[in-house]
Homo-oligomer: A and B are copies of this chain.
């Protein structure tokens, strides 16, 4: 492609709207242009990378027997009402009406539609399993679209759904998709990590996220330095070795006037936070009161609270606390009316010896708290802590670190959530109607591209890997007014393209520095520079954008040198 005939314009200035580097580069390098908040035009050069990624995705999914179809963007409300999500989904579900006032949604995801398709077409276990996918535009009316394609209102997603007559079959396909996704991101040349993910309030089922590692990633990952364990912090936990001492001190009421927070108590009692058991009190939409207990040095993981309660909740009201005989700021399990509150205790509490906890009495705490002696009987042990760096791995006991990533893929065992609510049944071997067992699998296609940039860039611009680069080679012509030089470059351009290389030929009437800067900014992996001075000495300059190495090679050694660089880039 001759740049002079192409539609590719870079920008010098950092766009106002962009906060993170990948977003800045996407705009400055001419990949995307904002049309409205969270809505972008994909410029020709972006489309090239997009198609390459889509090709990789299709190839790896097809290998696993997944079948592609295409569902609409405009979706009838009825199906969303059947699943119940019409009512539960927030305003991200962009609800619209047609000229006849019929209700529709712009598709943020397609579980309802695919379930409807499969329940209509498939009636027998003989037709299962099925693994269907699409690559398609998705729309979500995000409250705060930001970071470019990371959290856009319109974006491209690959979403897949599988249907099974047994959990074994689901597990098989799930593992296939795990492999396919790993292959996809490997082929893209990305550093990524597969982490255990929170399954939300569906419960019980497996879920994994594929995270492209980047310091600026929105997601935190607990990663074991010693074994394979890695989990989203929303899902991660550490293992506590319970401590039981024989020789216990008695439980003792101590005055702690106006000392309500752990910080204040620590200072007042001159004790480390590990000595405290703190309480977190909430109330669900039906008015049921919950007390969550955790060691003083840990934060509560709200995702886990969500999973335990399984419905909307808020901070406990004064009335509810009063009824349960709990005093705010001095709350604890002892003395509470246990008929009026459900108590969940984090495993971290099992390490507390001679601890401090609220006494449910204004200005008083207990001292000498031992979990095995002083906790009431009707409690449930849970993991609701947020792991911290240097916590122990729950699998091998090694040290956990907290790293950051960008979620680009997600696989999920849905089970019968949608098939049951939407009455999607098949007839099993035994002649009985059963709900399909389902899995779902997503890749944020446009997000992958930005994540690749967030992971691979330097101060001059993007550094594309071979597989995702919009063009592999930027052939830079200097001194284009010199006929000999221009002819040489023209010929080389022809030779390169004839050999199947994807080349952008920078034949623009512009200065060398300008061309070099663009080449770096856009991040083509290989730059071939043809200039009069070098050529006079029979030399061609080649730059490896990934390593920043520049070499001058003899014209006759050019192809060999190119081959070498190709071997050495990702």
CA distance A275 to B102 in the complex (A): 53
CA distance A40 to B35 in the complex (A): 28
Nearest chain B CB to A107 CB, angstrom units:
10
A 283-325 to B, binary, CB cutoff 8 A, 1 in contact else 0: 0000000000000000000000000000000000000000000
Given A98-B141, A137-B137, residue A42 in contact with residue B67 (CB < 8 A)? no
The reply to whether the CB of A36 lies closer than 8 angstroms to some CB of chain B is yes
> Which of these, B5, B7, B96, B116, contacts A69 with CB under 8 Å?
B7
CA distance A33 to B6 in the complex (A): 39
Contact A72 B35 (CB under 8 A): yes
Contact B39 A74 (CB under 8 A): yes
> Which of these, B5, B68, B96, contacts A47 with CB under 8 Å?
B68
Contact A44 B73 (CB under 8 A): no
CA distance A122 to B7 in the complex (A): 9
Given A44-B68, A91-B99, residue A121 in contact with residue B35 (CB < 8 A)? no
CA distance A99 to B89 in the complex (A): 13
CA distance A42 to B35 in the complex (A): 28
Q: Which residues of B contact A36 (CB under 8 A)?
A: 74-76, 102, 104
Given A74-B39, A154-B74, residue A67 in contact with residue B132 (CB < 8 A)? no
The reply to whether the CB of A94 lies closer than 8 angstroms to some CB of chain B is yes
Interface residues contributed by chain A, number (CB under 8 Å): 49
Contact B121 A9 (CB under 8 A): yes
The reply to whether the CB of A113 lies closer than 8 angstroms to some CB of chain B is yes
Contact A117 B33 (CB under 8 A): yes
Contact B141 A99 (CB under 8 A): yes
The reply to whether the CB of A120 lies closer than 8 angstroms to some CB of chain B is yes
The reply to whether the CB of A106 lies closer than 8 angstroms to some CB of chain B is yes
Contact B41 A70 (CB under 8 A): yes
CA distance A71 to B72 in the complex (A): 17
Nearest chain B CB to A53 CB, angstrom units:
13
**Residue among A94, A102, A122 with max Cβ neighbours from chain B (10 Å):** A94
Contact A71 B7 (CB under 8 A): no
CA distance A292 to B104 in the complex (A): 45
> Which of these, B7, B46, B96, contacts A96 with CB under 8 Å?
B96
Nearest chain B CB to A452 CB, angstrom units:
18
Contact A73 B137 (CB under 8 A): yes
- Closest residue of chain B to A30 (Cβ to Cβ) is B121
**Residue among A70, A117, A153 with max Cβ neighbours from chain B (10 Å):** A70
- Closest residue of chain B to A153 (Cβ to Cβ) is B74
Contact B94 A98 (CB under 8 A): yes
The reply to whether the CB of A21 lies closer than 8 angstroms to some CB of chain B is no
A 437-450 to B, binary, CB cutoff 8 A, 1 in contact else 0: 00000000000000
Q: Which residues of B contact A75 (CB under 8 A)?
A: 35-36, 39
Q: Which residues of B contact A117 (CB under 8 A)?
A: 33, 41
The reply to whether the CB of A271 lies closer than 8 angstroms to some CB of chain B is no
The reply to whether the CB of A143 lies closer than 8 angstroms to some CB of chain B is yes
Chain A residues 100 to 121 lying within 8 A of chain B, measured CB to CB, are 102, 104, 106, 113, 116-117, 120-121
Contact A65 B35 (CB under 8 A): no
The reply to whether the CB of A197 lies closer than 8 angstroms to some CB of chain B is no
CA distance A448 to B147 in the complex (A): 39
Contact B69 A120 (CB under 8 A): no
Contact A72 B40 (CB under 8 A): yes
A 317-353 to B, binary, CB cutoff 8 A, 1 in contact else 0: 0000000000000000000000000000000000000
Nearest chain B CB to A66 CB, angstrom units:
10
Contact A47 B35 (CB under 8 A): no
CA distance A35 to B117 in the complex (A): 9
A 106-150 to B, binary, CB cutoff 8 A, 1 in contact else 0: 100000010011001110000000101000010101010000000
Contact B39 A130 (CB under 8 A): no
CA distance A53 to B44 in the complex (A): 20
The reply to whether the CB of A43 lies closer than 8 angstroms to some CB of chain B is yes
Nearest chain B CB to A522 CB, angstrom units:
15
Nearest chain B CB to A505 CB, angstrom units:
14
Given A47-B70, A70-B47, A76-B36, residue A96 in contact with residue B94 (CB < 8 A)? yes
CA distance A233 to B9 in the complex (A): 44
Q: Which residues of B contact A73 (CB under 8 A)?
A: 73, 106, 137, 139, 154
Given A98-B141, A99-B143, residue A44 in contact with residue B71 (CB < 8 A)? no
CA distance A44 to B70 in the complex (A): 7
Contact A72 B39 (CB under 8 A): yes
**Residue among A39, A41, A44, A116 with max Cβ neighbours from chain B (10 Å):** A41
CA distance A68 to B43 in the complex (A): 8
Contact A41 B69 (CB under 8 A): yes
Contact A41 B113 (CB under 8 A): yes
Contact B154 A7 (CB under 8 A): no
Which A residues are within 8 Å of any B CB, using their own CB? 5-7, 9, 33, 35-36, 39-44, 46-47, 50, 65, 67-76, 91, 94, 96, 98-99, 102, 104, 106, 113, 116-117, 120-122, 130, 132, 137, 139, 141, 143, 153-154
**What 4 A-B pairs have minimum CB-CB distances, sorted nearest first?**
A42-B70, A36-B76, A96-B96, A91-B99
| Between-chain CB contacts (< 8 Å), 14 pairs | A6-B67, A9-B121, A33-B117, A35-B113, A36-B76, A36-B104, A39-B74, A39-B75, A44-B68, A47-B68, A74-B139, A94-B98, A96-B96, A99-B141
